[in-house]
Amino acid sequence: MTQIIDRRLNGKNKSAVNRQRFIKRFRGQIKEAVTDAVTERSITDIDKGETVNIPTKDISEPSFQHGHGGRREIVQPGNQEFIVGDTFPRPKTAGKQGGSNAGNSGEHMDDFVFQLSREEFLEFFFEDLELPDLIKTQLAKINDYKLVRAGYTVDGVPTNINVLRSLRGALARRIALRSPHERRMREAEAELEQLQALQSDDEALHRTRIRALEEEIKELKKRIARIPFIDEFDLRYNNRIKQPKPITQAVMFCLMDVSGSMNQERKDIAKRFFILLYLFLTRNYEHIQVVFIRHHTTAKEVDEEEFFYSRESGGTVVSSALELAYKTIEARFPTSEWNIYAAQASDGDNWDDDSTTCRSLLMEKILPMVQYFAYIEISELEDKKLWREYTTVKSLSKNFAMQRIKGLADIYPVFRELFKKRQPAK
């Protein structure tokens, strides 16, 4: 019997397969731990890993021992409490659970602690979410390439040799090199045949000429035989060039109300929602561009820093943000080249009849251009006019969704509801 002992040092990713097998086996416990974690941690910690405790009973392996064969009925001595069919109660553990008092008896095993990496945590967190109509168009902005065939070249690696083209070139070379020798050999053979058929007065000269022709023919045959069947000069390689390859791209419009009615707590909720949304988008598209629009009575496109941390405030005209988003799409993001998404956060307060204008802008201009529009209202009240107008939009449009957030605890449930996986249409 041969035993093989692997004494190689552990490679950098040698345990990766075992780790994936472990995650697959305890997927239920890990998924539950991730669900509990997202309800407790802040959005700034969402892209960090997580420590998972797996109870000892879940990782214990069954053990088998040799026992007595057949069925046996036995009576244990000292049994005055149980008869056949009774269930034994679980033995009491020694010491109090979680207590601080020391004991002199009993032992137990700690839970197995497993650390999830950032990527593994996000994989579990987003696994049952999706973007509706994820890929609709191919982009015009191309910065990725694929290799395509483009004729032949005389240089290359052996794996790229084109056998047919190489043999064709070798045949042409052999014909070109052999032709002069074969022509001369035919002439020499014909002359030799004539000399051998004729009688000459000068016998010595006659035999000398015959021997010369025979030597020449022999030398010509050697030259022809030395011509190689294939030469390095004949080799041709498949030539490949880089060709631009279309890849998917998307743009996300983030619209946030920063009016005076949006207090700091509501703004913080909106910021957390958008950060979570951006993190989700970057996992679904190779190229994602985000447009940040803040608004009070007027709307302004800003950078990420100003969007999340500016303290500017004022009145409320929601339509100003929708109008700016529509103009930006028309100017910079043609629908034939971009997958367009939009998300809007507001407390529902709006100026006079502007809510009706918002409904018209969405129905007539924005929704026909975007793949998905999500609206969150950060408010505990349910009778605000903007919400009622958007309810009409929702009933008429398949690519519009809306949810209400009342507090920090609602951010994750609402986000998951907006982007949960849809059943395919039958």
Q: pLDDT tens digits, residue range 177-216? A: 889 888 988 888 888 888 888 777 777 787 888 888 888 8
User: Taking residues 313-319, what's their average pLDDT?
Assistant: 84
Q: What is the mean pLDDT of the chain?
A: 76
Q: Strands 237-244 and 145-153: what pairing?
A: antiparallel
258 versus 11: the higher-pLDDT residue is 258
pLDDT value at residue 138: 40
Mean pLDDT of 156-170: 88
pLDDT score of 253:
92
Q: Side chain identity at 59, as an amino acid letter? A: I
Range scoring the smallest mean pLDDT among 352-356, 369-373, 416-420: 416-420
The listed range with the strongest mean pLDDT (9-18, 70-79, 125-134, 144-153) is: 144-153
Residue 362: per-residue pLDDT: 93
Structural tokens at position 27: 């997927």
- What predicted TM-score, i.e. pTM, was given to this entire model? 0.50
* Structure confidence at residue 363 (pLDDT): 93
Q: Which one has a higher pLDDT value, 226 or 131?
A: 226
pLDDT value at position 44? 44
- Percent of the residues in the chain that have a pLDDT greater than 70, as a whole number: 68
In this prediction, residue 331 has a pLDDT band, given cuts at 50, 70 and 90, of: very high
Whether 330 has a pLDDT exceeding 90, the answer reads: yes
| CA–CA dist 19, 253 (Å, integer) | 38
